[in-house]
Amino acid sequence: MTKRFILLAEGGTVNKNRGICIGLRNERRDVLNWSIRLSHFLADSFEERGWIEADGKIAYVVGMDVIFSTALDWMAIGVLGLLRGRFWEAAVYLLFFLTVRRYAGGYHASTRLGCFAGFVGFYLLCDILAAGIGGNGSGTFWLVYMACSIVAGETVFYLLTPIKNKSKRYTDDFLEGAKKKAFICLNLWYCLAIGLAVSGQEMAVQIITAGNIVVLLILMSKLRKRRGEG
**What pLDDT score was predicted for residue 106?**
78
Cβ–Cβ under 8 Å, residues 96 and 192: no
**What pLDDT score was predicted for residue 47?**
87
**What pLDDT score was predicted for residue 167?**
66
Q: What do you get for the CA distance between the two ends of the chain, in Å?
A: 35
**What pLDDT score was predicted for residue 114?**
84
CA angle, 99 as apex, 172 and 30 as ends, to 5°?
85
Q: Where are the domains of the chain?
A: 1-83, 85-230
**What pLDDT score was predicted for residue 92?**
95
Neighbours of 15 (CB within 10 A): 12
Neighbours of 200 (CB within 10 A): 9
| Spans of the chain, pLDDT less than 70 | 1-32, 137-139, 167, 228-230
**What pLDDT score was predicted for residue 206?**
94
Q: pLDDT per residue over 43-81, tens digit each?
A: 989 888 888 888 888 898 988 988 988 899 999 999 999
Rounded distance between C-alpha atoms, residue 206 and residue 201, angstroms:
10
**What pLDDT score was predicted for residue 17?**
33
**What pLDDT score was predicted for residue 84?**
94
Rounded distance between C-alpha atoms, residue 58 and residue 89, angstroms:
36
Rounded distance between C-alpha atoms, residue 131 and residue 134, angstroms:
5
Q: How many CA atoms does the CB half-sphere of 141 hold within 13 Å?
A: 10
